[in-house]
Amino acid sequence: GGSKAASLHWTGERAVSVLLLGLLPAAYLCPGPAVDYSLAAALTLHGHWGLGQVITDYVHGDVPVKAANAGLYVLSALTFAGLCHFNYHDVGICKAVAMLWSL
């Protein structure tokens, strides 16, 4: 039960980390909407899981943990929505980073 779920979660975290390593050169070599939206999803998920571990390590007590987790879900949803909005209505993640590097 719980052990298998934890193992699958750990495997998913590693897979997203490896995916991000592949998306970075892809963003440079072939920027476009597919890479932009993949980055939006992978970065949001990576950040969500990372901040979830911070909550697990540093937030104690039933009510504070529930509040922190609820806040994390809201933050993650807003992050993903914001990145998707940026990809759709503006230049996108790849082009934005390229523009920053060209400064």
Dist CA 44 CA 54 (whole Å): 15
> Using CA of residue 16, residue 38, residue 93, residue 68, what is the dihedral sign?
negative
**Residue 50 contacts residue 34 (beta carbons within 8 Å):** no
89 is in an annotated binding site: no
73 is in an annotated binding site: no
Binding-site residue numbers for a ubiquinone are 58
Provide the annotated binding site for heme b. 46
